[in-house]
Amino acid sequence: MAVKIILLPGDGIGPEIVGPAVEVLDAVAPGELEFEQHVFGGACIDAHGTPLTDETLDACRGSDAILLAAVGGPKWDTTDPGRPRPEQGLLALRRGLGLFANLRPVRPVPALYDASPLKRELIERTDLVVVRELTGGIYFGAKTRTHDEASDTCVYTRAEIERIARVAFGAARSRVTSVDKANVLETSRLWREVVHELHGAEFPNVELEHLLVDNAAMRLIAAPRHFDVILTENMFGDILSDEAAMLTGSIGMLPSASLAGGGSAGEPRGVGEPPTPGVFEPVHGSAPDIAGTGAANPLAMLLSAAMMLRHGLAMEAQAAAIESAVDRALAEGLRTPDLGGGASTAEATQAVLQHL
């Protein structure tokens, strides 16, 4: 029986990079994967008045994994709290599937060291993972809005902090850097306290350090090799992982995985129920300025497909094959416009396929 993958192309360059991912997946796992596509984000607002329909959410729940491209664009930008935004679809998908753990690996490819705005000697041998809590904090807290005042509530529970910390400690080779703002925020003080207690009780062999988020932001640029696993809450993780993208030379190079736990297919929903499917997506946005030009970099999407194979479907060999093919294509000179070259989306895809 084929593995069922839900495709959510979304907006902007999203539909242009989903096709290459399917091509590459079919090449490494011929006949093993079945794809089903649904509208999502701004495209779904245009079609149905909402960024995520119940039908699409049900399809995602019944799948083995979800491959998401990109959402958003100026067409749907609004400050009106009564109007839907594409990003609300992402939050609803994460909440609906219980995807509380976001993994964002950052490993600059040697062939692209000189594409980074940072000095080569700073980024060489950087290999870190940002583990971001995904369903709590200020993004999901109560919101109020009047003509003259607005508020966003940031709430975290002990249980929410413990479960994401376990994912981070489980992913660490040597060190977890827990990032917070404990000198100002009560949520961060609880965060630091819970992470410290969990470390002592369950993971004493892993080194733990606590950094304030502003210090972490500076050290991520000044000494990125220092980090192994960065553990942090929702908003800080969103910002730091995008900052970390510049270590690779382009945000067009970073994949991500959103899971319901640290296992290969998430946490079980309950006795007799299937594992929760994960969502795998590039870190970059919908890039509406280049949509339709054929210039989109598909590599983060292909690497997200590799993360899906590894973390969502336990297909390690196929995942490694895609990652190796991307590395070899770059080593032989593949450069899309965001990397200072002229390769089109189709040319980049073919360059990777040739190395599989």
Query: Residues 15, 298: contact at Cβ < 8 Å?
Result: no
CA 252 – CA 175 distance, rounded (Å): 27
SS (H, E, C) the chain: CCEEEEEEEECCCHHHHHHHHHHHHHHHCCCCEEEEECCCCHHHHHHHCCCCCHHHHHHHHCCCEEEEEECCCHHHCCCCCCCCCCHHHHHHHHHHHCCCEEEEEECCCHHHHHHCCCCHHHHCCCCEEEEEECCCHHHCCCEEECCCCEEECCCCCHHHHHHHHHHHHHHCCCEEEEEECCCCCHHHHHHHHHHHHHHHHHCCCCEEEEEEHHHHHHHHHHCHHHCCEEEECHHHHHHHHHHHHHHHCCHHHCEEEEECCCCCCCCECCCCCCECCCEEEECCCCCCCCCCCCCCCCHHHHHHHHHHHHHHCCCHHHHHHHHHHHHHHHHCCCCCHHHCCCCCHHHHHHHHHCCC
Q: Side chain identity at 220, as an amino acid letter?
A: L
- Residues serving a catalytic function are 139, 181, 214, 238, 242
Question: Nearest 5 degrees, angle CA 305-CA 311-CA 316?
Answer: 80
Strand 65-70 to strand 3-10: parallel, antiparallel, or no bridges (unpaired)? parallel
Angle (nearest 5°) at CA 163 between 129 and 165: 40
